[in-house]
Amino acid sequence: MGEPIRVLQVVTHMNRGGLETMLMNYYRKLDRSKIQFDFMTNRSERGHYDDEIESLGGKLYRLSPIKPGNYNKYFNELDQFFKENKEYKVVHSHINENSGFVLKAAKKAGVPCRIAHSHLSDLKLDYKYPFRVYARRSLKGNVSDYFACSKRAGEWLFGKKISNSGKIIVLNNAVDTQKFKINEDIRHKMREKLGIEGKKVIGHVGRFNPQKNHEFLIDIFNEVYKKNKNAVLLLVGDGYLKEKIEDKVKKLQLEDSVRFLGVREDIPELMQAMDLFLFPSQFEGLAVVMVEAQAAGLKVITSTGVTTESNITNNVNFIDLNKGPQYWADIVINSDFRRKDYTKQIINKGYDSSNNVKWLSNFYMKKYV
């Protein structure tokens, strides 16, 4: 057998975010004698998954950050990269509007398969908005294949015209269902390890950034705690707003009941220890972590800013963020905390990574025929 085909995955950074974790789920399950993943990032520092990528035979390419004032440098690096690396026939880009820049350079270099993959359903107006509009223009005419994690995410990035044309492939954000399946033994050990036996455990996994809405999350938990002193909140993740949230927790005197667990490799085990997953994001494409929480049998309470396509198990509540923390807290307190095995539903609805990797592998292989 000859060398495996190499597919270039374009990401910001290979840290433990939802998209990156999903890509690694696929990468581990690939027949790597046939297909290899390589990764292009725009960060100079190493990511959490870099060691594993290299151990699996993947290459890592680091380009400059994509930011105003740095565009020309980045564009030149892209042109140089594709000039020097002509083996790629498939470039799969996951960096939303900025995918246009990558795929434009790939097209110029003659790369036949140029996938733009949307993973968000919104981005709030901020100082970056004009630059995002500029980046989005580069998508036009440079994308050969349109992917999205949900219908809503596809329409957001590519527009209604392309969405209505039927050109967008919705590739569900899949998880390793077997890793998340309800396991009472793991639950007992993890709760014992964390010292939370007998507690009502509310969980959240996500980067500490404005999108994930941690301030509001703490406000909700504060209201829950007023009515149930047995409640505990587990916060998994890291990010630039973490210190601010830690200060807020101290001011509300919730230090003993809110646990900051940092970036973790044992998300499936941590979810076994939870009773409910609280996820009041401002917006999401279709969050991998919501699929994971449902695979772990958890009740999920999220915002109406999150696409309803993420309700795979009919065990997700969508609440308007304008309702306020007390309203949210009442919903949390009155929820059914019993976990249920949803493995079959998740597999049947196409959210299992073992099945999805077969489809994706076939898609890539056809491009090399």
Concatenated DSSP letters for 200-212?
EEEEEE--SSGGG
Does residue 93 sit in the same domain as residue 213?
no
pLDDT score recorded for residue 127? 53
pLDDT at 1 over 60: no
Residue 223 sits in a domain whose CATH number is 3.40.50.2000
Work out the average pLDDT over 249-255: 98
Does residue 241 sit in the same domain as residue 361?
no
Does residue 77 sit in the same domain as residue 66?
yes
pLDDT at 104 over 60: yes
Q: Name every residue whose Cβ is closer than 8 Å to that of residue 265 and which is 6 or more positions away in sequence.
A: 16
pLDDT at 113 over 90: yes
Residue with tokens 């995918």: 99
Provide the Cα torsion 38, 48, 157, 138; round to 10°.
Answer: -50
Does residue 87 sit in the same domain as residue 227?
no
pLDDT score recorded for residue 304? 95
CA–CA separation, 175 vs 177, rounded Å? Answer: 6
Question: How many domains does one find in the chain?
Answer: 2
Does residue 224 sit in the same domain as residue 328?
yes
pLDDT score recorded for residue 2? 79
CA–CA separation, 87 vs 6, rounded Å? Answer: 7
CA–CA separation, 249 vs 221, rounded Å? Answer: 10
Does residue 63 sit in the same domain as residue 185?
no
Q: Name every residue whose Cβ is closer than 8 Å to that of residue 192 and which is 6 or more positions away in sequence.
A: none
Does residue 119 sit in the same domain as residue 203?
no
Phi, psi of 170 (to 5 degrees): -90, 110
Range of the domain at 107: 5-174+352-366
State pLDDT tens for residues 356-366: 999 999 999 99
pLDDT at 136 over 90: no
CA–CA separation, 114 vs 304, rounded Å? Answer: 32
pLDDT score recorded for residue 129? 63
Higher per-residue pLDDT: 320 or 121: 320
Does residue 168 sit in the same domain as residue 312?
no
Does residue 159 sit in the same domain as residue 123?
yes
Work out the average pLDDT over 332-340: 96
pLDDT score recorded for residue 189? 98
Work out the average pLDDT over 266-294: 95
Alpha-helix runs per DSSP H in 197-264: 214-227, 242-251
In angstroms, the Cα distances linking 289 to 126, 248, 281 are 26, 24, 12
Average pLDDT over the chain reads: 94
Does residue 228 sit in the same domain as residue 295?
yes
pLDDT at 123 over 70: no
CA–CA separation, 302 vs 320, rounded Å? Answer: 9
pLDDT score recorded for residue 124? 62
Does residue 333 sit in the same domain as residue 196?
yes
Band (24; pLDDT cuts 50, 70, 90):
very high
Q: Name every residue whose Cβ is closer than 8 Å to that of residue 122 and which is 6 or more positions away in sequence.
A: 156, 282, 283, 305
Which pTM value belongs to this model?
Answer: 0.87
State pLDDT tens for residues 25-74: 999 999 999 999 999 999 999 999 999 999 999 999 999 999 888 889 99
Provide the Cα torsion 206, 211, 212, 216; round to 10°.
Answer: 160
pLDDT at 369 over 90: no
pLDDT score recorded for residue 285? 80
Does residue 111 sit in the same domain as residue 218?
no
In this prediction, what percent of the chain has a pLDDT beyond 90? Answer: 88
